[in-house]
Chain A
Amino acid sequence: MTLPVSKSIAPDEGSYNFAYLDEQTKRMIRRAILKGIAIPGYQVPFASREMPMPYGWGTGGVQVTAAILGADDTLKVIDQGSDDTTNAVAIRGFFEKTAGVATTTSTEDASIIQTRHRIPEMALNSNQILVFQVPIPEPLRFLEPRETETRKMHALEEYGLMHVKLYEDIAKNGHIATTYAYPVEVNGRYVMDPSPTPKFDNPKIDNMEALQLYGAGREKRIYAIPPYTKVKSLDFDDYPFEVQSFDKPCGLCNAEGVYLDEVILDDKGGRMFVCSDSDHCEERRANGHLGPMAADPAATLLSGGTQEKGQ
């Protein structure tokens, strides 16, 4: 990371410190990040700051991004896989203004990707960092409300309770019905909540080339998965972990084996399934892949809209 340079701030607006946070705060956060990397999956407490956005809008992720951002970084922000939803646009704008860094919607071009609820479909490389926004970092929280107790359970590796949750799923639904925030065991030691990403993305977390950083602003925790770390999704011998599969390809780009969102097209029951990763979908379409719905007028409107924003 190079020295902070603020390029795009107009004189009449005063000037922010590079990437909004003061340097002491960034040092504090970086120390927490380094500790998190050293102990994969362990939740490191940190002195989370008030950010100019409400809790639940990515205050943890924003602080992590601010602490690692350098002037030569290229930032991509996605929310539910999409570059053009409110949260993504707002955070991208925030760093354009406070750090003056380059931003992109292209997964390939980004050096730092801040995400809420998805991991890009394209495999990430070791020059990239993925920053997650985490609402509730403690995977044991739903069954054990006491923080003192959950800390002890992590320390002593008492993770039976995690399986109680999965047991309940099977007992009540006939299968493990947890589809997001699906608990994982990191590096054979800590059990971790991979933030509310769909469990579809869990296999991507395992042995990922890129560094993964998780920030929870309200709960004041940072944790990390270093590159090439073994991450196992918890399961039962007779109910093994499996990801959901979709019986149709993406309506716009015909992609298979990707995570799809259902989109309602009209009030007459019209709907289609499209890639949740908007960048991935656009790139495929640009390369000539067309899905069965690509010619549908309603879908054209939707895809046209996306393309405009993406450009």
Chain B
Amino acid sequence: MPVRLYLNTVGKTFTMHLQGGTSIPVVSNVDFAVEAGECVVLGGPSGAGKSSILKMIFGNYRCDEGQILITCNDEIVNIADAAPRQILSLRQDTIGYVSQFLRVIPRVSATEVVAEPLIAQGTSEEAALAKARDLLNRLNVPERLWNLPPATFSGGEQQRVNIARGFIAHYPILLLDEPTASLDAVNRSVVVELVDEKKAAGVAMLGILHDQDVRDRIADRIIDVTKFKIAA
């Protein structure tokens, strides 16, 4: 299978100017690839830099050293030096991010929140809303909530809305940031199914999963991040 994502000797250091310019090295020499249709999970204890790697790939954090190469159509794009608008465009059609925290958009119904990324990719509103309802149903979000804005939902309900939002559109690369944290067993299984469907569709996935059970069920490979950790 073709490589979708390749991190080439990537390094990241935070400089904390408010603490007298202290340098906090996070990772260095990160070097791995993710192929289409596989799910790679980053392993290692908290603070090992798993989240920072995910955020660098998504463009939330700057990448100080190395390259983060992404295959986008026939082109290879280096996220580390891409222009902001290029990253925004990649986020729309190429890289998806499923996190446990929902950034609440006020006054927009759950169904519309979920459907939005699909509509942005050009799917008709009707089809996107239908798919959104289907996903909310699969994730056991009660139907009476679908037309309400998720701001007032419980934590678990918000999380499931966000998972639906993350999985609805087609991105060749999908980043999973603890998608199953604090989900019950039934919904964890739904997430596992969704991941399997994405694999079948040829999506390259990179995730952080502390949940041993889910990790065992979806991970094709586990990369231990501690080997990229530099001694502080």
| A–B contact, 8 Å CB criterion (strictly below) | no
